[in-house]
A = this chain, B = another copy of it.
Amino acid sequence: MAMVKLTEYADAKPEVKAVFDDIMTTRKTNWINNIWKALAAHPPTLRRIWEQVKDVMGPGGRIDPLTKELIYVAVSMTNNCEYCIKSHSAAARRKGMDDEIFGELAAIVALANQTNRLAISYQVEVDDAFEPRHD
């Protein structure tokens, strides 16, 4: 069971309703998913997190929307967050991910987790050629 009571739209305070309305308008849906109903227990956090998600994951910038979601899912796989893997895989599917792309994504994430531990296990020093140059 969630740590707080989920806030349904009908029971929400005006400041919460305003965020819920913006989520539904931005996403062109009439549905609010559980993470927002949970965050509604602390309205300033609800607003702050939604504003960020809208900014960072929304259109604009140089990284396309599907790639943004793949990166998000990759982090969630590494952190073992079931809610995040499932909710953002659903978002990625709406933007074009299919089973084959999911399979490739999981293979890259798994490989990076393997090679990360090899670099760490062997305490490999950064090659001079890989050090950033800022002249």
By a beta-carbon cutoff of 8 Å, the part of chain A in contact with chain B is 1-5, 31, 33-35, 38-39, 41-42, 44-45, 48-49, 52-53, 55-57, 61-63, 67-68, 70-72, 74-87, 89-90, 99-127, 129-132, 134
Q: This chain: how many copies in the complex?
A: 6
Q: How far is the CB of A29 from chain B (nearest CB, A)?
A: 10
Q: Can you offer 25 A-B residue contacts whose CB atoms are under 8 A?
A: A2-B122, A2-B123, A4-B102, A34-B124, A35-B124, A38-B118, A39-B122, A41-B99, A41-B102, A42-B106, A49-B114, A49-B118, A56-B108, A61-B104, A75-B112, A76-B116, A78-B79, A80-B120, A81-B119, A83-B119, A106-B121, A106-B122, A110-B117, A113-B113, A113-B116
A38 CA / B49 CA spacing, docked (Å)? 23
Chain B residues, Cβ within 8 Å of A131: 1, 86
